[in-house]
A and B are shown apart, each in its own frame.
Chain A
């Protein structure tokens, strides 16, 4: 059954769906993963990302669709025959086996010889820098070490695909950063095809070659970190990509040749860039990153009357290099702003936003997603 060495070029996930009773957890999931690629499935809890991973692993049977690895159809195989490595959020280390034996488990199941097993286990433990802990039980290790054992256990079998289910979310912030680098390093060293589930966009952006953003069981956008970061396909993806300011607004003029639209939100009159086709009178969402809202000094404000927002400073947080400022517009909307100086709480400030950095999205997510894949923002 060890067909792990078997060459394959792509993993094709076609129209995969999964229902639980009456609820649809995942629907119409299409994705082609290139060999050696690092894919991150990103979304809030309940978006179907873990369902997708469990379907890939075979721990959940599919309701629709098929999965092919190269020419082999795998969705009909039980998990133990798929030859995928899996890393769980809870580590799922065998508590009664030493670190060494945990890592050796998959090799023993594959009937690898004793000497070969010992060699590969030692190598895997060296890779995750746990040579000294080989004889310990998992319970004697720290969380980060345990997760490294889990990763070693998954990669030692040289699986066709490594599946990781939120592997870092049980770790504290500092360890999480360290492990992120570790995972990236491992992927660069071994070049294993990886599908990684997370709800942390920073993790996804820093690790993945391509991201898949899911919402309510449906794919919202697939693309490289840069594509998603710069051109989110809808406001849900924008929200995940750090567009913290999402304002409901009404379109007051049709888009011009450059995609510029005039929109109105309460007393604010702004010019933004339409990502989805919009018409006058439609309800839309304006998405702006905190860093794209510029706090004006009193002199410069007069010089640029376009896209100016007057607001009161409510909260100022020091965040190392700059300040995170929360302001309230005269219309009562809360906006998040980054500023390199600390404005006085309670004072009035003027903010400006470049029309190309103010993205205008259709309010309705489900119609917007149909064109999600190839919509490019004319920046």
Chain B
């Protein structure tokens, strides 16, 4: 009945049952397996996110009085108040260098650790070990090691190299160090796995064609690795951007390391301004999205196909 004649050939309906035809399009009872995940996402992400966003549109009377803008008063305040706007810069100033550093340092290490050799496992393990330390433990370690009374300063001063202790914690450097320590294993693991996806015979082919190591790296390895580097940068950047504990513990949370998470916490914990805290959180997400979008845009110009290896 529904059979239609296309270009003279009569297209007949399949004789398979409806169930089979649906299954052919991926609709079958296995879809039920997705229910827990969907419930989880709805309950723990979509709802709180929507609720938080709703809060940002219900500014406190104080905020409306001071900053104006009606229901958008929180946003007006966010961009008007140096306290909040500046912290976007303060966060980016930490997260971007930390992510860049981790990505750049991981590349040569991952390349050197790609071939099999004795002790490779041990070195890789040592490099990845910091992943097991929480941020708090890292911060504590940094305080003990690099603090004014720490081992590092103690040793340097006893050796007579310094008269004054170096200030490595409770400032920008302390937080940067902590971000590098906690972000490096992620970057290293990710880049190693991207690198292992590149067919090693490409490097050999380039050598046989007369390419020295720099040319092989710049013309073969780097272009094939670049999309992976972009992804790695995004992940380590997002991790670093939402930093909170180390900014407080080894940083200067009221000054140079007043990151967005700290600001949001202040509004929530000290001023009890829930809507404004939510606004800061939303803006934090938007700032991350902006950086991610820029990186992804750049990545879209790169070759992203097969890299020949076994992935």
Q: Does B207 contact A (CB under 8 A)?
A: yes
Report yes or no: B206 in contact with A105, Cβ–Cβ below 8 A: yes
Inter-subunit contact B207/A79 (CB<8 Å): yes
Find the B residue at minimum CB distance from A59. B204
Stretch with Cβ within 8 A of A (4 or more), from B6-14, B167-175, B302-310: B302-310
Q: Is the CB of A157 within 8 A of B207?
A: no
| CB contact list, B286-311 vs A, under 8 A | 303, 305-308
Instruction: Report A124 CB to chain B, min CB distance, Å.
Output: 13
Which of B209, B211, B220, B305 is close to A139, meaning CB atoms less than 8 Å apart? Answer: B305
- Residue A366 is within 8 A (CB to CB) of chain B in the complex: no
Identify which of residues 70-106 in chain A touch chain B, using a CB-to-CB cut-off of 8 Å: 78-86, 88, 90, 92-96, 105-106
A110 CA to B207 CA, complexed, in Å: 12
Contact for B210 among A93, A94, A106, CB less than 8 A: A106
A109 x B211 contact (CB < 8 A): yes
Q: Which A residues are CB-close (under 8 A) to B224?
A: 95-96
The count of chain B contact residues (Cβ–Cβ below 8 Å) is: 22
Count the A residues whose beta carbon is within 8 Å of the partner chain — how many?
Answer: 30
Residue of B nearest to A86 (CB): B208
In the complex, A173 has a CB within 8 A of chain B: no
Whether A95 contacts B306 by the Cβ 8 Å rule is yes
Whether the pair A78, B207 counts as a contact (CB closer than 8 A) is yes
**B109-160 CB contacts (< 8 Å) to partner A:** none
Bound: A86/B303 CA distance, A = 25
Nearest opposing residue in chain A for B226, CB measure: A96
Q: Scan A41-83; emit 1 where CB is below 8 A from any B CB, else 0.
A: 0000000000000000111000000000000000000111111
A95 touches B208 (CB 8 A): no
A82–B204 Cα gap in the complex (Å)? 13
Determine which of B199, B210, B219, B223 lies in contact with A83 in the assembled complex, contact meaning CB atoms within 8 Å: B210
Query: Shortest CB–CB separation between residue B44 and chain A, in angstroms?
Result: 40
Q: Name the contact of B202 in the complex, choosing from A58, A92, A110, A137 (C-beta under 8 A).
A: A92
* Residues from chain A with Cβ under 8 Å of B211 in the complex: 80, 105, 109
Interfacial residues of chain B within 52-71, with CB under 8 A of chain A in the complex = none
> CB-nearest residue of chain B relative to A153?
B209
Chain B residues, Cβ within 8 Å of A81: 210
Chain B residues positioned under 8 Å from A5 (CB to CB): none
Interfacial chain A residues near B2, Cβ < 8 Å: none
B205 at the interface (CB under 8 A from A): yes
Does any Cβ of B come within 8 Å of A303's Cβ?
Answer: no
Specify the chain A residue showing the minimal Cβ separation from B304: A96
A92 touches B205 (CB 8 A): yes
Pairwise interchain contact A106-B303, C-beta atoms closer than 8 A: no
B212 interfacial by beta-carbon distance below 8 Å? yes
- Tell me if B201 is interfacial: C-beta within 8 Å of chain A: yes
Taking CB atoms, residues of chain A closer than 8 Å to B207 are 58-59, 78-80
Chain B residues closer than 8 Å to A59, beta-carbon distance: 204, 207-208
B205 touches A88 (CB 8 A): yes
A80 & B306 in contact (Cβ 8 Å cutoff): no
Residues 209-247 of chain A, each 1 if its beta carbon lies under 8 Å from chain B, else 0: 000000000000000000000000000000000000000
Q: In the complex where A1-B210, A109-B215 touch, is A96 in contact with B305 (Cβ < 8 A)?
A: yes
Give the complex CA separation of A90 and B210 in angstroms. Answer: 19
The answer to whether B305 and A88 touch across the interface, beta carbons within 8 angstroms, is no
Q: Do the beta carbons of B201 and A92 come within 8 Å of each other?
A: yes
Choose one: B210, B212, B303; the contact of A95 (CB below 8 Å).
Answer: B303
Whole-angstrom distance between the alpha carbons of A163 and B201 in the complex?
A: 14
Q: How far is the CA of A157 from the CA of B223 in the complex (A)?
A: 23
B216's nearest neighbour on chain A, judged by CB, is A80
User: Apart from A78-B207, A86-B204, what 17 extra A-B contacts exist at CB < 8 Å?
Assistant: A57-B208, A59-B204, A80-B210, A86-B209, A90-B201, A92-B202, A94-B219, A95-B303, A95-B307, A95-B308, A96-B224, A105-B211, A109-B209, A153-B205, A153-B209, A154-B208, A163-B208
6 residue pairs A–B, Cβ–Cβ below 8 Å: A1-B210, A90-B201, A94-B205, A94-B206, A105-B211, A157-B209
The list of the 5 closest CB pairs from A to B, nearest first, reads A96-B303, A106-B209, A86-B208, A92-B205, A109-B210
